[in-house]
Amino acid sequence: MTETAGTDRAVPDVDVVVVGAGIAGLYLAYRLSRAGYRFRVFEAADDLGGTWYWNRYPGARVDVPSIDYMFSFDPDWQRDWQWSEKYATQPEILRYLNHVADKHDLRRHITFSTRVQQARWDDEASLWRVSTDAGDDVTARFVVMATGCLSMPKPAEVDGLERFAGEVYFTSSWPHERIDFRDKRVAVIGTGSSGVQSIPVIAQEAREVVVFQRTPNFSIPARNGPLSPEKLAQLANEADYRAAARASYGGIPMEKSITLTFSVSESERRQRYERAWECGLLFDSINVYADVLSNPAANHEFAEFFRNKIRSIVDDPQTASDLCPTDHPVATKRPCLDTNYYATYNLPHVRLVNVRNHPIRQVTETGIETADESFTLDAIVFATGFDAVTGAITAVDFRGRNDLALKDKWAHGPQTYLGLTAVGFPNLFFITGPGSPSVLSNMIVSIEQHADWLLDCLGHLSASGFEVIEPTETAEAGWTQHVNDCADITLYPAANSWYMGANVPGKPRVFLPYCAGLDFYTASCDEVVARDYLGFTLSGPNGSQCHDGVVRRLQPDVEMVLNEVAALDLPPMESMAADDARAFNAQMSMARPPGPDVGEIVDGVLPGAAGDLAYGLYRPSTPGPHPIVVYFHGGGYVLGDAASDDPLCRDLCARSEAVVISADYRHAPEHRFPAAVEDALAAVQWVGDNAGALGGSPGQLAVCGWSAGGGIAAVVCRLARDMGGPNIVGQALLTPALGADMTRASFAENADGYGLTTPLVRWFTDHYIDAADRSDPRFAPLCAVDLSGLPPAIVVTAEFDPLRDEGEAYAAALDAAGVPTEHIRARGHTHQSVTMVDVVVSGAPVRAKMADSLRGFLAATRTPEPAS
Ligand code: NA7
């Protein structure tokens, strides 16, 4: 390390240390060298290639099409590199990587056979002190982990391996010389991609193969072969093709399905499933329907299709049954692409042992002993996977600020900002780290995206006179939350997968990759930069800057819906006449999923305050009588009806097991205040009087409403209290409109961009009520003098709702008045999003909570059954 002339500031030996010379390390070497940085790449192996250096097992291939698995910075596909097959083998990929390295003279930057062991942040000098097992001590301003997601093999988790006299292999570090299995009895432990690829090839040669399977995986035929003319045609304009890959969901140009499984007929589903089985493409097959990874029923049907395929291929019914995955939803573990995998079990010398039923007890000198059998073996192959995503990062002893160990920081699961950086570890970057799309995307595209972002960042730092970058606590916590939110609306957490860290004993159970898509992710990274490095502190000798904040605050599915609606560029509702707004609302309602099935739905008419009103009655499928919830729809007093809130009412009925009566009320501007509340009160009175005839249990009556309907439900509770009936036992108010007091902060904070806008609230309010009446508690229940004695309440407010603060205030006022009140703050939600059944999956837990509360309110009133 040298000193800068004239100053006492330390100058590091290099600008950047890169750890790893796989695909990411090579691309970084290319970019850093072209940009004139001083850098070193350390690689533990004695040659380059990373994954493709180590995983030389028989049958090893890439599982995305080879022509998608190429660097885009070097468009030499057309000129001097051509793949021989749709899915290249490991040797061919390694040749490609060597070709790229040689062509761009990258090898000279790499120090081989050298493992980085420790990196210590020197706060005073603002640099990393990096040491290796070869004795190097290097100082670097930045350290970049290009260590890959599947590069830290799991150790063998069996007793007695050291006793075994035969050969032992790990797919993850396969010998360089050819292994001859002819005439050998071979065990393979593990049936992930490595097992599934290698087993059929080993079986072609070996005398006997015994596969020890802990969890069967879903696998589809790779249908490998020559490159298809269609794929080649897509590449006619390679620059466009690569750009489309970068802008895609998974890093492969592909139109993302927006069709929901049960929106099409069974025969159409069958055809699509068959196409998924036939296409030989992993990402395309999962993309069969939009809800495969979010709707359990959709996933189950797809999974059953695969199980039937397995049963149709494998002759022995017990083996077929053992090969059928039943413990995880399809695609929640990485599905495999295979060549003859299932058919291999029809060979007389291949046998499957289900270690869940026949656990491996130990390895002996001669083979493997299960609880009930001994297998004599010449070789054991471990295809048991990796300490994925975080393993190779925490294998380096990183010491950040105040000697904080990265391993300790991540003891309960990784926390990162953008999957790229971590608080306490300035100037440390992870390529395809935890919290980035990484293994759920085409790795090579994700690697380029990360490396490009990093190079831009380094350029920005130096151009702005900064030398240190570190995320803030707020930004990191927000991103980590967002990564979890994304996973939580999928079925991924349901599987004991390596995505969840569940394959490594003791590893925290946290979903590691970012699952909302490369496109969505890239937009976040770009937005951070566009907002002048939002969530990062940038510092240097001359000062620092920090625009603190969270880049993704909305629930991911809410944001996607908002983006889709924004893309439609619709006219604002407040620019329409009331009738046009109603027609527009009705039209928008037609495009959504129907909501869950209920026992029956009956339309009826009830006497309102000034004439008949329509209602829709939703009855649970369980035997009645049921308690009754009278529901008031949203729509700003101007629009809406039972049809507009139909999926929400079905959902409420199914979840609460109550009869839900969605009662209409007269609308403004034709019928202004207090018409709506008068009708609502009349409806509740009528339902109370006719509970038995409606199939309800008398005395078990609650109210619920959304938006304006929520305000109406709140008002009805107070009027019923004051009038001495009907007896309402609970109220559920979903993002209620409670007085349109536009001085509240949420009206300014969420004025636009979240569906319901402040101008639209004003438009609704003006249609409904004169300014002089707006403090009437029949419009603004917060203006009521006394809220005591009201029925217990659940109030749901949404973070990005102009009405949020009045909901908050009402929940607090109820509580202060002694009303048992539960207040749910729907984080990352908007005024409408919780109502979007089967569209906004993240709203489901909020609705479940609301239904649970209603059940509780109603159950508390049930007359106990007489003792027999
Ligand atoms: P995977 O996919 O993690 O597969 C490892 C397999 O080994 C899997 O079937 C495991 O069962 C099994 N396994 C792991 N530990 C044990 C023990 N102790 N006993 C028995 N069986 C065990 O790794 P791969 O190398 O096949 O593939 C990694 C990725 O590379 C793949 O997803 C592609 O993206 C490419 P488990 O499912 O954990 O019960």
Task: For residue 766, give the H/E element and its range.
Answer: helix 758-768
Nearest to 109 by CA among 193, 184, 185, 29: 29
- Nearest-CA residue for ligand 1 atom 27 is 193
- Distance of CA 186 from the midpoint of ligand 1 (Å): 18
Nearest to 773 by CA among 663, 607, 662, 637: 637
* Pocket lined around ligand 1, Cβ cut-off 6 Å: 150, 157, 171, 189-195, 214-215, 334, 355, 383-385, 498, 503
Partners of 286 in beta bridges: none
Partners of 186 in beta bridges: 209, 379
pLDDT at residue number 4: 41
Q: Determine if the peptide bond prior to 669 is cis (ω within 30°).
A: yes
pLDDT at residue number 5: 39
- Distance of CA 196 from the midpoint of ligand 1 (Å): 10
Partners of 182 in beta bridges: 206
Secondary structure string (H, E, C) spanning 331-361: CCCCCEEECCHHHHCCCCCEEEEECCCCCEE
Strands of the sheet with 367-370, listed across from one edge? 360-363, 367-370, 374-376
Q: Which residues contact 865 (CB under 8 A, 6 or more apart)?
A: none
76 falls in which pLDDT band (50, 70, 90)? Answer: confident
- Distance of CA 323 from the midpoint of ligand 1 (Å): 15
Strand locations in 645-783 (E): 659-663, 696-706, 731-734
pLDDT at residue number 10: 79
Q: Does the global pTM surpass 0.85?
A: yes
Portion of the chain with pLDDT greater than 90, in percent: 94
- Distance of CA 190 from the midpoint of ligand 1 (Å): 5
Spatial separation of the C-alpha atoms in residues 636 and 241, rounded to whole Å: 47
554 CB neighbour count, 10 Å cutoff: 23
- Nearest-CA residue for ligand 1 atom 34 is 334
Distance of CA 710 to CAs 644, 726, 853, Å? 15, 18, 15
Mean pLDDT for 78-87 is 90
- Nearest-CA residue for ligand 1 atom 23 is 385
- Nearest-CA residue for ligand 1 atom 16 is 384
Which of left, alpha, beta for 100 (phi over 0: left; psi -120 to 50: alpha)? alpha
Nearest to 34 by CA among 73, 79, 85: 73
Asked whether residue 552 carries a pLDDT value surpassing 70, the answer given is yes
- Distance of CA 195 from the midpoint of ligand 1 (Å): 8
pLDDT at residue number 863: 56
**Can you state the percent helix, strand and coil of the chain, rounding each to 5?**
35, 20, 45
Place of tokens 């729809």: 633
pLDDT digits (tens, 9 = 90+) for 17-34: 999 999 999 999 999 999
Spatial separation of the C-alpha atoms in residues 146 and 704, rounded to whole Å: 54
Q: Which two tokens stand for residue 547?
A: 């625009």
Distance of CA 420 to CAs 303, 390, 848, Å? 34, 12, 35
Q: Is 705 helix (H, G, I), strand (E, B) or coil?
A: strand
pLDDT digits (tens, 9 = 90+) for 236-257: 889 999 999 999 999 999 999 9
Residue 37 and residue 48 in contact, taking contact as beta carbons nearer than 8 Å: no
Asked whether residue 8 carries a pLDDT value surpassing 70, the answer given is no
- Nearest-CA residue for ligand 1 atom 3 is 385
Q: Which of ligand 1's atoms lies nearest the C-alpha of 384?
A: 7
- Distance of CA 432 from the midpoint of ligand 1 (Å): 20
Strand-pair category, 127-132 with 137-145 = antiparallel
**Please, what is the Cα angle at 305 between 303 and 306, to 5 degrees?**
65
- Nearest-CA residue for ligand 1 atom 35 is 193
Residue 122 and residue 31 in contact, taking contact as beta carbons nearer than 8 Å: no
Mean pLDDT for 82-94 is 97
pLDDT digits (tens, 9 = 90+) for 625-665: 999 999 999 999 999 998 999 999 999 999 999 999 999 99
- Distance of CA 155 from the midpoint of ligand 1 (Å): 12
- Distance of CA 191 from the midpoint of ligand 1 (Å): 6
Nearest to 444 by CA among 87, 73, 69, 26: 69
pLDDT at residue number 79: 79
pLDDT at residue number 3: 38
pLDDT digits (tens, 9 = 90+) for 757-787: 999 999 999 999 999 999 999 999 999 999 9
